Structure 1
Amino acid sequence: MPLSEHEQRMLAQIEQALYEEDPKFANTVRQTNPKVHYKRSIIKASAGFAVGVCLLMGGVIVQQVFVGALGFLVMLGCALWGISGWRRVAGGSAEGEQAGAAEPKQRRQQRQGMMNRFEERWRRRQEGNDQ
């Protein structure tokens, strides 16, 4: 939804005040892209996953269960971290997107129909016309 003229003017005033108050911070915030942050986290998670594989293999070679288990846990944690970053880069719900916006139109209509049926049943029960 686009901003109204009044909201755009207020936003411009807030930005101007921020530039006047702390120009270094304002430039840093303006130039930062959230996707870059998530891509970096994916790279870090990949490196951590590789370290986990090395630990797991090292534990197998020296026959130390603790080292192997630690490697597996590192791999698991890094895999989850990487998947989280991947979803955010790919357009998942990173910045609070509405869940209904990505839902197919047909399914929304079915859900609305179901809710209408429930409301109709509730109204009939309240009126005493329950069948």
Structure 2
Amino acid sequence: MPLSEQEQRLLDEMERHLMRNDADVVSAPRDGRTLSYRNIVYGTILVLVGLGALVVGVSTQLIVVGVIGFVVMLGGVVLAVTPTRGLARAPMDASARPASKPRANSSFMDRMNERWDRRQGGS
């Protein structure tokens, strides 16, 4: 069943809005915290060293070496997945700021429902 002209316009508008918001979500900083490749590399090296110590501890039956190896592995994983504080962004001047939306506190679906009700009510 084909969409009516009004439904097609609404669908196109929703798609444009979604694409615009998805781009905003992808480019938005996550509170200035990002994964560091350096920490990932160091964490991977620590995991490999800890794994080696764990294998040595198990093969020589030195439990202390195995436990230390496990702790080093755990520390490497934590180091690799912990986000680091990124550089603070310089504040934008007034001309570079994006235009603010008049009703930013209401969700997209709320605005769509309001528009739909207005169209159906004739007001």
**Which structure exhibits the higher relative contact order, with contacts defined as CA atoms closer than 8 Å and separated by 6 or more residues?**
2
Same fold (TM over 0.5): no
Pick the TM interval, shorter chain. 0.3 to 0.5
TM-score, normalising length from structure 2? 0.40
Structure with higher helix content: 1
Q: TM-score under structure 1 normalisation? A: 0.38
